[in-house]
Structure 1
C-alpha cells in the first residue's frame, strides 16, 4: 500500500494518516467481495430457497414446487426481520413478509431489494366460538373494551399494528391475560382461556370465530427479493403463484372469503382471482 496503515503499541492500534484514507475504501472492497461470493453461489445453485413468517403450510411448499418444476424448492419459517436479512445476504432467494417497513434497508451500502405487494390483509377480532360478538356482521372498537385480551410480545412484528388499533379503544388499558409470540399461540388462548385477540384472518385457526372490525388497520404481505437475482419470467410466475395460493387458502375461511368477494376494492392485487372465482 506504499506505507504503514496502523501503528501498534501497548495502548492499542492507531491508524496512520495513510490508514485513515485507505481503510474506508478497503472496507467497501471487502463488502463487495462478499457480494461477489454470494452472487456466484446463487448463480451456481439450482435450489430456490423461500422464506415465510409465522408458519409455512406444506401446501405452500407444494404450490412453489409446481410453479418451479425444474428447480429444487426449499422453504424456511423465520421472523420477518430475519427473512429480509437472509434475502439481503443471499441465503434466501425470496421471502414473503408482513409490513412494508421491514424491507427498508438499514444499510444503503448493501444490495438493493425489490418488492411486490401480494395482498393487503385486514386485522380482525378473534373470539371463542359461541361468544356474543361472534355472530355480529362487524364490530366497532368501543364494543371491545370489556374483553380480556391476549396480546403480542413487543418484539413481534404484529405488535405495532395491534398497538395502533388499541389506541382507538375508549379504554387505554384493556385487560391483558398473556403476551404471545405468534398467531397460533394467540388462537390457543382464545379457544382455551376464552380470551380475545387481534389477528389477520389467515392467522386464525378454524376453532375460533372471526369478526370484522369497522375501520380496522391492515398489513401488507410483501414478497421481497434481491434486485436482478430472479429472472423476470420466474418472478412473474412466483408472484402469481403466491397470490393464487393466498386466495386458495382464504377460501378455507368462509367468512373471510365472502368478505373479500363483497369488498374487492380492498384487495386490488387479487382482483383477477376474485373475478374468476
Structure 2
C-alpha cells in the first residue's frame, strides 16, 4: 500500500461519498461530475490495493477497508482544516458543536436545548441540520457531525451494523399519541380504543427511505384512507386543527400542538413506544459537545406527554 501520493481532494471526495451514500449525491454536493468523483475514488482504491466501496442498487456501502480509510481520512482532514484556520488567524473551532436531528425534534426539543445552552454557555456555537436516520448516521461516521438526535421504534435494533458500534443514550421513552380535531367525536375522551380508529381519515406522509406511512396509527387491520399527505409534522397538526383528519404525534411534538387539536392516548393492540436517542462515535466528547448533550438530556426530561 502506498498513500504517499494520495491527494487531499481524493480524501474529501471519499468522505463526501461516505456521508451522502451515492456518487451522484456526492458529486452534486461538491460541484463535480460523477466521473470526476469516480476517478478520485479509483485513485484511493489503487493506493489501498483494495475496494473501498461496495456498489449497490441503492447507492454505495463502505467495505472493511473503506471504514479504515474513512476513519483516518476524517482525522487528516480535520487537522488540515484546523491548520488552515490557525494560519488565517481565525479562532479555533473547538467551541462549535455540529448536531443532526430528525424531523419532529426541531419543533420543541431542539430550540429548548439550544436556547438553554446559549444562556448557560454563550461562547459555544451550535450548528444543526435535519436529516433522515441513515443520512445522520453516515454523517457521524464521516466525522461531519458530533452528535445525532434520532427517533427509534420497536424492535429497537442497533442503528447500524458498522464497527465500532455507535454510543447511544436513550433520552426518553414514551408512548405514541394520537391527534384529533377538537370537534371530532373521539375528542370527547382522553383515551380511545384502537378499534375506534377503523374507517377514519388520516393525514400522513412516507418516511424517509421506506414506504411506511408516518401519521397512520401502526398496525391498523385495514387499508387506511389517506385524506392528506404531508412530510412536515407541524403541517400535519395544523391540518388536524382544520378538521381534515387524524394523525399520530411523537412525544417531542405534543406541546407544539396548535389550538383546535386534542391529544389522545390509544389503548388496545401493541403498546407503541418511541425512544428519543442521542448517538455519537465511541470516543470522549469535547466539552462543548458534552454541554450540548447535557442540555438535550435536560430538555427531553422536561418535555411532557400524556400517558
Change (3 A) 1:38 1:21: closer
Q: Would you say the 8 A contact 2:107–2:253 is kept in 1?
A: no
Q: Which residue of 2 aligns with 1:179?
A: 229
1:206 to 258, 282, 287: 258
Q: Would you say the 8 A contact 1:114–1:227 is kept in 2?
A: yes
Q: How many angstroms does 1:34 deviate by?
A: 1.1
Which deviates further from its counterpart, 51-60 or 35-44?
35-44
Q: How many angstroms does 1:217 deviate by?
A: 0.6
Q: Would you say the 8 A contact 2:237–2:258 is kept in 1?
A: no
Q: Distance in 2 between matches of 1:198 and 1:249?
A: 17
Q: Which residue of 2 aligns with 1:9?
A: none
User: Where do residues 116-265 of structure 1 align in structure 2 (5 Å cutoff)?
Assistant: 116-155=169-208, 159=212, 165-167=217-219, 169-170=220-221, 172-204=222-254, 205-207=257-259, 208-215=261-268, 216-231=271-286, 235=290, 237-250=291-304, 256=305, 259=307
Q: How many angstroms does 1:72 deviate by?
A: 2.0
Q: Which residue of 2 aligns with 1:270?
A: none
* RMSD across aligned positions (CA): 3.6
Which has the larger Rg? 1
Q: How many angstroms does 1:196 deviate by?
A: 0.7
Q: Distance in 1 between matches of 2:82 and 2:150?
A: 21
TM-score normalized with structure 2 length: 0.62
Q: How many angstroms does 1:162 deviate by?
A: 5.9
Do structure 1's residue 45 and structure 2's residue 106 form an aligned pair?
no
Q: Distance in 1 between matches of 2:82 and 2:175?
A: 35
Q: Deviations over 1:146-168 (max 9, x none)?
A: 311112214378946767x532x
Q: Secondary structure at the match of 1:155?
A: coil
Do structure 1's residue 33 and structure 2's residue 72 form an aligned pair?
yes
Q: Would you say the 8 A contact 2:178–2:247 is kept in 1?
A: yes
Change (3 A) 1:201 1:31: closer
Q: Distance in 2 between matches of 1:64 and 1:158?
A: 37
TM-score normalized with structure 1 length: 0.68
Change (3 A) 1:34 1:42: same
Q: How many angstroms does 1:94 deviate by?
A: 0.7
Q: Distance in 2 between matches of 1:113 and 1:42?
A: 25
Q: How many residue pairs get matched?
A: 231
Q: Would you say the 8 A contact 1:50–1:74 is kept in 2?
A: yes
Q: Which runs of 5+ in 1 are unaligned?
A: 3-18, 251-255, 260-277
Q: Secondary structure at the match of 1:92?
A: coil
Q: Which residue of 2 aligns with 1:84?
A: 137
Q: Distance in 2 between matches of 1:103 and 1:219?
A: 14
Q: Distance in 2 between matches of 1:199 and 1:42?
A: 42
Q: How many angstroms does 1:185 deviate by?
A: 2.0
Do structure 1's residue 64 and structure 2's residue 117 form an aligned pair?
yes
